[in-house]
Amino acid sequence: MSNLKDILINKTICKSVWFMRQAGRYLPEFRKIRLQNKDFIKICLNSKLSSEITLQPIKRFDLDSAIIFSDILMVPYALGQNIEFLKDDGPQLSEFSLNTFINNDEKKFSRKLEPVYKAIEITRNELDKKKSLISFVGAPWTLLIYMLKLKKSKTEIDINKLNNSHSTINKILNDLNRYIMVHINNQIKAGADVVQIFDSWAGLAPNENLNSYIFKPNAKIIDFCKKGEIPAISYPKGIKEKYEDFNKIVKPDGINIDPEIDPLWAKEKLKNVVIQGGIDPKILLKSEEDIIETATKYIQTFKEIPYVLNLGHGLLPETDPVKVSKLISFYRNSYG
């Protein structure tokens, strides 16, 4: 079985592969479009173009699932923050205004994201019926980090900013949860089969706040998905051994592990869930032998449980597409 939606529902042993950031800068066909379109948000709001980009890696590699070309920051954008993607400097959001944030409503929010839903509709019509179309959202904590510019460096957040405004933070997280659920629902109504919830900065949440900033908001989203029979994959990157608690508390259908998680540990500790990913994207910058050695470790470890081949985080821009192709064929030709 290779259809991701069915795998998540039935928790079957399978052979299925897709990659986070499979549409992106490592592909010459994406770079060509990117050169002609300087404004990243405008690409995400151009339904035809984002659909075309979504399908680029499917055409090239015949992957089992497509992930809609969009961004987790489309939610803050729809809630009134301007976003610029500066070269080498990551996304820059305009100053957060609590007043603007509070004055949003769900209709206005959905209207601003209409082009994303249209892109899903176009893509679902063009995509082979056997393949799943994945939609996605950022989890509240990860969105909050960008919205309030909480990050001091890659590994550190501004704790003072957080501690000074505990009640406001909780109010924003709660409201974000509501809009995230609206965005999930709209994407599924437009034709998406599955949703992945990216909590890419979960590892930066202070330990004493893990429950209120990570477990609870993610559990609310997963409960919402369960009620709507929406297959969902969680990705709480960087929380180390807390992956076990996360899985027990949040109970997603699928869980994407990051490169710090030992596959054997994951196999023993993460139960009643489809495990996905884990492979360090940096391995794809190495030799073919290194790639095969690492892939073998993951494929062998998970051969008797439901596992979807993917990475521990997104494909790096400097990746050679030929190496991606080699990894896919090795996986498809492997036993287990």
91 makes contact with ligand CP3 (CB under 6 A): yes
Copy the structure tokens of residue 9: 């529902």
DSSP codes joined into one string, 286-312: S-HHHHHHHHHHHHHHTTTS-EEB-BS
- Under the binding rule (CB under 6 A), the answer on residue 67 touching ligand CP3 is yes
d(CA 161, CA 164): 6
Angstrom distance (rounded) from CA 320 to CA 236: 27
Q: Which of 26, 69, 109, 246 binds ligand CP3 (CB under 6 A)?
A: 69
- To 5 degrees, how large is the angle CA 11–CA 196–CA 306? 20
Report how many residues bind ligand CP3 under the rule CB under 6 A: 22
CB atoms within 10 A of CB 303: 13
Round to whole Å and give the CA distance between 310 and 304: 17
Cα angle 319-23-235, degrees, rounded to a multiple of 5 = 90
3-state secondary structure of 254: strand
Single out the segment in contact with ligand CP3 by CB under 6 A; choices: 20-28, 108-116, 261-269, 320-328.
20-28
Q: Is 257 within 8 Å of 277 (Cβ atoms)? A: yes
Binding segment toward ligand CP3, per CB under 6 A, in 65-73, 102-110, 155-163, 297-305: 65-73
Q: Considering the rule CB under 6 A, would residue 73 count as an interface residue with ligand CP3?
A: yes
Of 228 and 314, which has the nearer Cβ to ligand CP3?
314
Using the minimum distance from each CB to ligand CP3, give the nearer residue, 133 or 222: 133
Q: Which x/- pattern over 265-304 shows residues binding ligand CP3 (rule: CB under 6 A)?
A: ----------------------------------------
Choice between 20 and 120, CB closer to ligand CP3: 20
22 is an interface residue for ligand CP3 by CB under 6 A: yes
Q: Which of residues 196-215 bind ligand CP3 (CB under 6 A)?
A: 198, 200
Binding site for ligand CP3 (CB under 6 A): 20-25, 34, 40, 67, 69-73, 85, 90-91, 136, 198, 200, 313-314
